[in-house]
Amino acid sequence: MFLVAALSALPASAQTQQAGPPPPRPHTFGITSSDVAVTYTLERAKLQASNCNCFWLNGGSADAAITLYRGFGLAANLTGEHASNILPGVNLGKISFMAGPRYTYGASHTRVFGEWLFGVAHAFDGAFPGPTGLTASAGSFSTQLGIGTDIAIHKGLGVRAFEVDYVHTSLPNNGVNSQNDLRLAFGLSYRFGVR
């Protein structure tokens, strides 16, 4: 009787061993990761496109991103910056909010991303030409195209080692009313769900 029970268990255990590991799960659409970053920003700008008269805006930014499918996802960025005495007695402050697609590549330790964001910029504390003279503030459409790298330090905490962005705005400036700036950023990042 014992021999019959042992022999009947053999085919079942052989079938279990032949089955192997379960097949990989198919990629599905949904939030696969999310992260936030806080950075210090430097933006090189100029008064008019025809001459340099260049200056640096200093400030900070906060951004959040979610990855949805195979590295593709969405990102949003809020940046505030300021420069003093871009002309004698003239300052400039700027706040922008943009959102759009982001692609992230890399393992959990080092991640590289590229993004193209769209939104609005509001400039203030300056002097902008208008139909009735100078005004202290102005607004425009803005876009940001850039790349960056996050390096993990411990669990979800990381460093935004660098971020380089091309930033375009269309604020009035008695010229072509177009600004094409270079923005640099670095700071801290945090990726949720890392243990």
In this prediction, residue 150 carries a pLDDT of 96
- CATH number of the domain that residue 75 is part of: 2.40.160.20
In this prediction, residue 1 carries a pLDDT of 45
Residue 183 pLDDT more than 50?
Answer: yes
Tally of domains in the chain: 1
- Is residue 142 one of the residues assigned to a domain? yes
* Residue 179 to residue 41: CA distance in whole angstroms: 17
- Is residue 3 one of the residues assigned to a domain? no
pLDDT tens, position by position, 114-172: 999 999 999 999 888 878 888 889 999 999 999 999 999 998 899 999 999 999 999 98
pTM: 0.80
Per the structure, the complete domain to which residue 102 belongs is given by 31-192
- Is residue 21 one of the residues assigned to a domain? no
Instruction: Determine the 3-state secondary structure of 162 from DSSP.
Output: strand
Residue 51 pLDDT more than 70?
Answer: no
Amino acid, single-letter form, for residue 160 = R
Amino acid, single-letter form, for residue 118 = F
Instruction: Determine the 3-state secondary structure of 4 from DSSP.
Output: helix
- Is residue 1 one of the residues assigned to a domain? no
**Average pLDDT score over the chain:** 86
- Is residue 10 one of the residues assigned to a domain? no
- Is residue 49 one of the residues assigned to a domain? yes
Tokens of 150: 């996050």
Q: Which residues pair with 98 in a beta bridge?
A: 77, 119
